[in-house]
Structure 1
């Protein structure tokens, strides 16, 4: 593994941890040349998961893009980052467990909203407002009423 700071090809592993139920290995390393420390993540290389967007185009599934959307929805909410990372992992695992390698973006959005609702209702409404592209206040109120009705 090359050092991200100096490019030297030798490093020693200081610490190893298993993440995401053993699907990821996190290694803390120290460069043998410059002595700076960096972290690497090791994942099993999986068959690419392809997302079919609303306009019909295809895009490779990007967990970072999903996490970024969740972070925007959860801005200024007291939701730990590890909770959102776990949510992304669960959604990715659900998608990969299906036999299809092409997934409609709508399916991903519905999975996110389904799980986000139980984590934080405000973040859910924020995510839903972008995902469902509310065009007016009436549609927004309908979603809030549905949420309140399900809560009762």
Structure 2
């Protein structure tokens, strides 16, 4: 593993820990040349489907792009990086379990919206407003009603 600070290939693993689900290993490393420490993550490489965009073009699945979209919706919201990573992991697990070689981009958008709805209602509305391309205030209001908790009876 190359050091991100000095590009030396002489690095050593100082500590390794698996996550609770057991699907990722976090490794703390130390560079022998510059003595700086950094973290790497190891996970199984999965065969994810190609994404079919609305214009018919096909692109490879890109976790970083999906993470960026979610991060934009979650900007300035109280959601941890670990929660976002967990949501991305669940989306990828779903994509793999479908067993499809290609999947429409709209399907991924729906998976993202489902995860954002669980993580943060405001982020869900932000993402939905762009993804669903709301045409008027009524569509926006409907999305807000969709995430609002049902009214509680008095005293409960």
TM bucket, shorter chain: 0.7 to 0.9
1:29-40 equivalences under 5 Å are 29-40=29-40
TM-score, with structure 2 as normaliser? 0.85
Residue 48 of structure 1 deviates from its aligned partner by 4.0
1:16-27 equivalences under 5 Å are 16-19=16-19, 21-27=21-27
TM-score, with structure 1 as normaliser? 0.87
Distance 1:13 1:124, change over 3 A: same
**Does residue 9 of structure 1 match 2:13?**
no
Q: Is the 8 A contact 1:50 1:60 kept in 2?
A: yes
Count of aligned residue pairs for this structure pair: 151
Report which of the two has the higher share of helix: 1
Residue 129 of structure 1 deviates from its aligned partner by 0.4
Q: Is the 8 A contact 1:19 1:25 kept in 2?
A: yes
Residue 90 of structure 1 deviates from its aligned partner by 0.6
Unaligned runs of 5+ in 1: none
Unaligned runs of 5+ in 2: 152-156
Residue 13 of structure 1 deviates from its aligned partner by 0.8
Q: Is the 8 A contact 1:20 1:89 kept in 2?
A: no
Measured in 2, the distance between the counterparts of 1:140 and 1:46 equals: 36
